[in-house]
Amino acid sequence: MTDRGNFGSKIGIVLATAGSAVGLGNVWRFPFMVGQNGGAAFIIVYVGCILLLGIPGMVSEFIVGRHSQANAARAYASFSNSKAWGLVGILGVLTSTIILGFYAVVAGWCMQYLGASVLGQLKGDSTFVLHYFQRFSTDPVKPAVLGVAFILLTHFVIVRGVKDGIERVSKLLMPLLFILLLIIVGASCSLPGAGKGVEFLLKPDFSKLSSQVFLEALGQAFFSLSLGTACLCTYASYFSRHTHLLQAAGQIALVDLLIAVLSGLMIFPAAFSVGVLPDSGPSLIFITLPNVFQQAFAFMPMLGYVISIMFYALLVFAALTSTISMHEIGTAFFSEEFGMRRSHAAWILTIVCGLIAVFCSLSIGQADLQLFGKSLMDFCDFVTAQVMLPLGALLTSILVGWCASKVVVRNEFTNHETASSKSFFGFYMFCVRFIVPVCILLILMHQFGVI
Ligand code: TRP
């Protein structure tokens, strides 16, 4: 078996795992969900989901991974002493491979927009920007090539290993991302009329709350924390024996939330200042925003130009640290389970995900690439985020809460009674045994129309 490698430092652990969590989910998905679901009211529900389900879910995956110090499939099998549970790890490998396929397509769009911003090609009125997006995303060649290029970029980080590849890139990109974000938030919030955007984000309108909003918040929390695909389990297998799992989960969830809220503070004040309602859904950052930046900074076009470049660079960085984590799950699996060299294992993943990306990208312009009435791209998004991901998280909580030895779970949680988080163990177990599975079952039943 290959030498597994480990993260080299505490800060490396937090930054790499936060890098996985912070991604397009925060900068792209979170703002449009907030926009569609009542602003601050959504955020309050979202924070509740993170505390009661997200953090316990993260800790559970950490426990399985850190205890077993192996790839996802072996970790689940050895933690439960049963080969059958290894299938949950394999499900995780499968889910993350599919997610990487379509996620890379959107990441490729971000690269295109970064290039277009640099070349100043996004200038024009809102119809121009709309047509630009439609023309580009339905083009058969360019977006597919960019999606594959993004996977290759990920590949070259992965082959350098855990410490020299993943940890190093995260330590560089995460602080950079944070600085870019703060600069754009500052510029956006200082625009005239920006106050309305801030108010929308921070003043709750509870009349918008419904069970649908709750489900959306829960799904978003899982996706944003990279839960349910054995991603956290794989990263935790590189944690040190001294890492306080609850503390790490809390820190990562906090960073994730902070970046999501700051992303809102970057987008809404600018949008409101030019009178654009931020409820346009997934196309928000590709259709609404380029125009918003132009109009908002019309008094100083150079600033608009720089902000637009910074924004798409930020998206690319956020996406890259996340695609790295998705790629690592499969790479670790193939290299350890089949005794392959890490670079060969990485190529398998790169090729499979590259093919998924090409077909997903083509499915946007081609009506015949459909499954169950959805384009392949939407179908992959749906099956992973709404079915496979909750299923993975549900099975993990059943394993840790009900099937595994409580002593082992406690020892991992408390680092053999040395961690200060000992007193939270009872509450953690309660969440993992009852709250997490019940809530996920509710989501799944809702998904399939049972309730
Ligand atoms: N959490 C990332 C985001 O917010 C996406 C992500 C990375 C992910 N790894 C994952 C989602 C594993 C689900 C599972 O964009």
Query: For position 197, which CATH number holds?
Result: 1.20.1740.10
Q: Whose CA is nearest to atom 11 of ligand 1?
A: 226
How far apart CA 178 and CA 153 sit, in angstroms, is 21
Q: Is residue 206 part of a domain?
A: yes
Q: Is residue 214 part of a domain?
A: yes
Q: Is residue 405 part of a domain?
A: yes
Report how far apart the first and last C-alpha atoms of the chain are (Å, whole number).
48
- pLDDT value at position 218? 87
For residue 235, the one-letter residue type is: Y
- pLDDT value at position 2? 45
The two tokens of residue 172 are 């560089």
Q: Is residue 70 part of a domain?
A: yes
Q: How far is the CA of 23 from the centre of ligand 1 (A)?
A: 7
Q: Is residue 76 part of a domain?
A: yes
Question: For the whole model, what pTM was predicted?
Answer: 0.94
- pLDDT value at position 21? 97
Per-residue pLDDT tens digits of the chain, which is 451 residues long: 446 889 989 899 999 999 999 999 999 899 988 888 888 899 999 999 999 999 999 999 999 999 999 999 999 999 999 999 999 999 999 999 999 999 999 999 999 999 999 999 988 887 888 899 999 998 999 999 999 999 999 999 999 999 899 999 999 999 999 999 999 999 999 988 899 999 988 888 888 888 888 888 988 999 999 999 999 999 999 999 999 999 999 999 999 999 999 999 998 998 888 888 777 777 788 888 888 888 888 888 899 899 999 999 999 999 999 999 999 999 999 999 999 999 999 999 999 999 999 999 999 877 777 888 888 998 998 889 888 999 999 999 999 999 999 999 999 999 999 988 889 999 999 999 999 999 999 888 887 888 7
- Are the CB atoms for 440 and 390 separated by under 8 Å? yes
Q: Is residue 2 part of a domain?
A: no
How far apart CA 113 and CA 153 sit, in angstroms, is 17
- Are the CB atoms for 53 and 401 separated by under 8 Å? no
- pLDDT value at position 3? 61
Q: Is residue 4 part of a domain?
A: no
Q: Is residue 5 part of a domain?
A: no
Q: How far is the CA of 224 from the centre of ligand 1 (A)?
A: 6
Range of the domain at 155: 10-447
Q: How far is the CA of 398 from the centre of ligand 1 (A)?
A: 22
Q: How many domains does the chain have?
A: 1
Pocket of ligand 1 (CB under 6 A): 20-21, 23-26, 96, 99, 223-224, 226, 229, 231, 322, 325-326, 389
